[in-house]
Amino acid sequence: MIAPMPDPLLALPGLGADARLFTPQQRRFSHLRVPAWPTPERQDDVRTFAGRLLDRLVAEDLWRPETTLLGFSFGGQVALSMTRLAIEQVRPQPRAIVLVSAPRTDVAITKAFRTQVALSRFVPSAVMRFGARRVVGPRFARACGLDAAQTPELLAMAEGLDVAEFRALSRIASRWSFSADDEARIRDVGVRIAHAHSKLDPVIPAPPVDTPDVDWIEARAHLLTWTHADLVGDLVARALLVEA
């Protein structure tokens, strides 16, 4: 007898990150998959970008009522946008969305971030690549409280940064349009949203304290899939037990 396949668990990383961001979760959930991003297009915003990924996941039978999404930072934007599109298009909705250090609405996309994205197009790619390895990476590791084992992993991702993709995805992230009503619509149709966020996140502003279903971290942190791997894993485990 052929054993049934586990329900899909899809992890979506943040800007400049890859599947290594979810290494602790992959150890705990062997069926976790990190789908490749679609090729960004010039006029993309999160909605159109997420729509192409949604179409591919549907075609590959990875988007089902049993699917759980784990979205980190930008990946959370995509997870929410795909689910909102699925509702509009009368497609199945996922079982649950687990957000990690991710915005719930476009209010969290700050003016400072939009300005940085706009100015970054004037920075040569070689300078961005060097800065990621030698300046931004080490500072980011310290700001996020990474330890001696985790810091080299972050620097390895910075070493292999695809600058063109990073620019494109940053531009897409800065164009996100997603309201509190959009987020409420997802919950209203029965999709559970779980969320882990630091009150002192140095990258994504913390949501309002009365936001439902947030596991708060008091420490200054952002890369919670590494620094708070057990908490993230527990959120995923609870999401997987939600009845479809």
Q: What is the pLDDT of residues 81-132, one digit of tens each?
A: 999 999 999 999 999 999 999 999 999 999 999 999 999 888 888 888 888 8
Could you tell me the pTM of the whole model?
0.94
Average pLDDT over residues 223-242: 93
* CB-based burial, 169-195: b 16+ in 10 Å, e otherwise: bbbbbbbbebeeebbeebeeeebbbbb
Average pLDDT over residues 224-237: 96
Tell me the sheet residues that pair with 10.
Answer: 33, 69
Fold held by 9-108+178-240: Rossmann fold (3.40.50)
Q: What integer pLDDT is reported at residue 5 of this predicted model?
A: 64
| Statement: residue 243 has pLDDT above 80 | no
Range with lowest mean pLDDT among 16-25, 58-67, 121-130:
121-130
Q: What integer pLDDT is reported at residue 1 of this predicted model?
A: 46
Q: What integer pLDDT is reported at residue 78 of this predicted model?
A: 98
Report the C-alpha dihedral over residues 120, 123, 126, 127, rounded to 10 degrees. -90
Q: How high does pLDDT run on average in the chain?
A: 93
How far are the Cα atoms of 18, 161, 164, 212 from residue 184, in angstroms, in the given order?
A: 29, 35, 34, 10
Q: What integer pLDDT is reported at residue 196 of this predicted model?
A: 98
Average pLDDT over residues 178-186: 96
- End-to-end C-alpha distance for the chain, whole angstroms: 25
Token pair belonging to 207 = 């949501």
